[in-house]
């Protein structure tokens, strides 16, 4: 079956090489990877392990940076439900980038988009999710002086003139072709891309967007119109989508609980979900597994360790070899994944408990937040 990737839908098993061709992005080559690591004076698990696999113009952003022109970062979240561990991936990566490149960061919460997109959504429910998600985002620990988190419905008055200028440059044919909108798409959705594009123009400097690849269609449209409006084409760093618990077809989806581990899941829930649903690359029987070994390319527990067993490359290699050779059984691999995910969630939830004060800074009181509230994009 062919696969499909849009900002709202992922089906089939994504072939990332094909996707690079379809979207017209560029691979992160080993050369670019080592340039990033040397400019950042350090490495990050998502860069090292090819989770961040593709980009638009990040090579240019890096050249500019090395010549003293800083870039700013922009990412976001659509609060359609509770956040799952897949949503944490771009946030963790963004934190690394912010620290490594000392960059301003804007985080857009698209409460408007999710109300418009989900037919059964109420504005009250979306607001509750937005506030809950913001706590999860704050728990990641961005720089309070250099981070602005905003909800569209609340900040829109400040950016509306900019949104208008963007909207005037984009016609219906373009969004129909890029996003697959049809005659029955509601008109809020049709004009929404102008709102997601606006933060790429919050500064005259180059914007760099760390996000998973599903959001790229917006950046394609931005790059067609930015220079006409007096801004730079945005750069982007694309991450692969974390596989659903149930297997390599499709992504982890917040609307299908059996495919996802939520940040709020208890250790027991994590244990039970992984034991019951985690798609295994192991053989039918123990005897066969010992003889033939497992397939780490499709095994979800292994895929997740690839993302989250961050510090220890040699330990990951040992697990890969042991599983492939049949020395390690599926149950044993699942236990390792359960321990790792539970450790991640324990740390996250501890940070979340003390994040309320940080939220206040990111949204209203921090240096960048105050600057943004005093500004209108006329
Ligand atoms: P949303 O809420 O669908 O996703 C938030 C971020 O998580 C990424 N993502 C995933 N990453 C790994 N594995 C997954 N299974 C997975 N599912 C989602 C998304 O790529 C995204 O980075 N419209 C956006 C909100 C938004 C935004 C932005 C996102 C506004 N401005 C700028 C990124 C950059 C949305 O609904 O994202």
Task: Tell me the per-residue pLDDT of 42-85, one tens digit each, with 9 for 90 and over.
Answer: 999 999 999 999 999 999 999 999 999 999 999 999 999 999 99
- 276-304 pLDDT, tens per residue? 999 999 999 999 999 999 999 999 999 99
What's the mean per-residue pLDDT of the chain?
96
When pLDDT is cut at 50, 70 and 90, the band that residue 247 belongs to is confident
**What residue numbers bound the domain in which 338 lies?**
253-353
238 and 257 belong to one structural domain:
no
Q: Does residue 120 sit in helix, strand or coil? A: coil
Q: Which of 244, 270, 304 is the last residue of a domain?
A: 244
* 217 pocket-lining for ligand 1 (C-beta < 6 Å): no
Kindly state whether residue 370 falls inside one of the protein's structural domains. Answer: no
Query: Helix (H, G, I), strand (E, B), or coil: what is residue 61?
Result: helix
Rounded mean pLDDT, 160-164: 98
- The answer as to whether 299 is a domain residue is yes
- Distance in angstroms (rounded) separating the CA atoms of residues 74 and 85: 20
What are the C-alpha distances in Å from 328 to residues 243, 273, 320, 350? 22, 20, 9, 32
Residues 229 and 110 in one domain: yes
What pLDDT score was predicted for residue 257? 75
Checking DSSP bridges between strand 235-239 and strand 52-56, what pairing results, if any? antiparallel
Determine whether the shortest distance from the Cβ of 86 to ligand 1 is under 6 A: yes
76 lines ligand 1 (CB under 6 A): yes
Q: What is the reported pTM?
A: 0.97
In 3D space, the residue among 312, 313, 316 whose CA is nearest the CA of residue 299 turns out to be 316
Please work out whether the CB of residue 77 comes within 6 Å of at least one atom of ligand 1: yes
Q: How far apart are CA 165 and CA 77, in angstroms?
A: 23
The number of folded domains in the chain is 2
Report the greatest alpha carbon distance in the chain.
Answer: 70
Do 198 and 278 belong to one domain? no
Domain C-terminal end among 244, 262, 291: 244
Q: What's the token pair of residue 153?
A: 């419905």
pLDDT (average), residues 172-192: 96
Assigned domain for 360 exists: no
Whether residue 253 has its Cβ less than 6 Å from ligand 1: no
Give the number of other Cβ atoms within 10 Å of residue 82's Cβ.
17
Chain position carrying tokens 């984009």: 170
Q: Measuring CA to CA, which residue among 87, 90, 74 is closest to residue 195?
A: 74
Same-domain status, 14 and 157: yes
The C-alpha angle 305, 133, 337, rounded to 5 degrees, equals 15
Q: Do the domain assignments include residue 377?
A: no
Ligand 1: residue whose CA is nearest its atom 31: 76
237 lines ligand 1 (CB under 6 A): no
Assigned domain for 371 exists: no
CATH number, domain at 261? 1.10.240.10
Q: Is pLDDT at 1 greater than 80 in this prediction?
A: no
In a domain, 90, yes or no: yes
Q: Which helix (H) or strand (E) holds 11?
A: strand 10-11
Q: Under a CB-based contact definition with an 8 Å cutoff, are residues 185 and 6 in contact?
A: no
Are 157 and 285 contained in the same domain? no
Distance 243 CA to ligand 1 centre (A): 14
Q: What integer is the mean pLDDT of 104-116?
A: 98
Which of 5, 23, 55, 77 for a ligand 1 pocket mutation test, highest count of atoms within 8 Å of Cβ? Answer: 77
Residues 169 and 313 in one domain: no
291 Cα–ligand 1 center, Å: 41
Among 56, 166, 142, 147, residue whose Cα is nearest residue 108: 147
- Is the distance from CB of 185 to CB of 176 less than 8 angstroms? no
CB atoms under 10 Å from CB of 35, counted, come to 17
Cα separation, 115 vs 192, in Å, equals 11
pLDDT interval class at 217 (50, 70, 90): very high
Measured in Å, residue 229 CA sits from the centre of ligand 1 at: 26
Q: What is the CATH number of the domain that holds 215?
A: 3.40.50.620
Band of pLDDT at residue 250, cut at 50, 70 and 90: low
94 lines ligand 1 (CB under 6 A): no
User: Distance between CA atoms of 75 and 110, rounded to whole angstroms?
Assistant: 11
* pLDDT(312) > 90: no
Separation CA 325–CA 139 (nearest Å): 39
Q: In Å, how far from its chain's centre is CA 375?
A: 27
Find the range with the poorest average confidence among 140-149, 172-181, 257-266, 316-325.
257-266
CA of 252, closest atom in ligand 1 = 15
> Are 321 and 236 within one domain?
no
Stretch 351-362: mean pLDDT = 96
Distance 356 CA to ligand 1 centre (A): 22
* DSSP symbol at 232: P
* Residue where one domain finishes, among candidates 196, 213, 244: 244
Q: Is the CB of 7 under 6 A from ligand 1?
A: yes
64 lies in the same domain as 42: yes
In this structure, are 258 and 203 located in the same domain?
no
CB 143 within 8 A of CB 106: no
Q: Are residues 110 and 21 in the same domain?
A: yes
pLDDT on residue 10 = 87
- Neighbour tally for 357: CB within 10 Å: 11
Does one domain contain both 24 and 92?
Answer: yes
Rounded CA-CA distance 70/104 in Å is: 9
Q: Is the CB of 211 under 6 A from ligand 1?
A: yes
Note whether 109 and 71 are within 8 A (CB): no
Q: Which long-range contacts (CB under 8 A, 24 or more apart) does 317-322 make?
A: 320/296
374 belongs to a structural domain: no
Ligand 1 atom at minimal distance to the Cα of residue 214: 20
**DSSP reduced 3-state for 262:** strand
Is 368 domain-assigned?
Answer: no
Q: And the tokens for 14?
A: 């994504």
279 and 204 inside one domain: no
């Amino acid at each position: 079956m062919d696969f499909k990737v849009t900002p709202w839908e992922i089906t089939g098993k994504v072939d990332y090489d094909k996707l690079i061709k379809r979207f017209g992005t560029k691979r992160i080559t080993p050369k670019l990877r080592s340039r990033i690591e040397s400019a950042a004076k350090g490495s990050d698990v998502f860069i090292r392990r090819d989770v961040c696999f593709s980009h638009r113009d990040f090579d240019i952003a890096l050249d500019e940076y090395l010549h003293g022109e800083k870039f700013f970062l922009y990412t976001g979240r659509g609060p359609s439900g509770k956040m799952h561990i897949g949503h944490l991936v771009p946030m963790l990566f963004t934190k690394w980038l912010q620290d490594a490149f000392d960059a301003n960061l804007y985080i857009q919460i698209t409460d408007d988009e999710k109300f418009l997109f989900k037919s059964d959504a109420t504005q009250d429910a979306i607001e509750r999710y937005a506030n809950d998600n913001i706590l999860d985002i704050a728990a990641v620990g961005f720089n309070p002086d250099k981070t602005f988190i905003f909800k569209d419905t609340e900040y829109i008055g400040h950016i509306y003139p900019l949104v208008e200028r963007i909207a005037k440059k984009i016609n219906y044919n373009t969004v129909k072709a890029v996003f697959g909108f049809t005659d029955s798409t509601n008109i809020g959705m049709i004009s929404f891309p102008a709102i997601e594009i606006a933060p790429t123009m919050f500064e005259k400097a180059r914007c760099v967007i760390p996000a998973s690849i599903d959001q790229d269609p917006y950046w394609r449209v931005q790059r067609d119109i930015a220079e006409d409006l007096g801004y730079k084409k945005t750069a982007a760093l694309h991450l692969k989508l974390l596989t659903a618990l149930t297997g390599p077809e499709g992504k982890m989806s917040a609307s299908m609980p059996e495919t996802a581990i939520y940040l709020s899941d208890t250790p027991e829930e994590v244990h039970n979900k992984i034991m019951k649903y985690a798609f295994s690359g192991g053989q039918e029987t123990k005897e066969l597994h010992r003889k033939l070994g497992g397939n780490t390319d499709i095994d979800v527990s292994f895929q997740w360790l690839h993302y989250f067993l961050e510090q220890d490359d040699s330990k990951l290699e040992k697990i890969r070899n042991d599983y492939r050779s049949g020395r390690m059984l599926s149950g044993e691999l699942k236990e390792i994944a359960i321990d790792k995910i539970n450790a991640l969630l324990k740390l996250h939830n501890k940070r979340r408990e003390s994040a309320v004060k940080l939220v206040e800074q990111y949204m209203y009181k921090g240096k960048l937040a105050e600057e943004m509230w005093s500004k209108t994009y006329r």
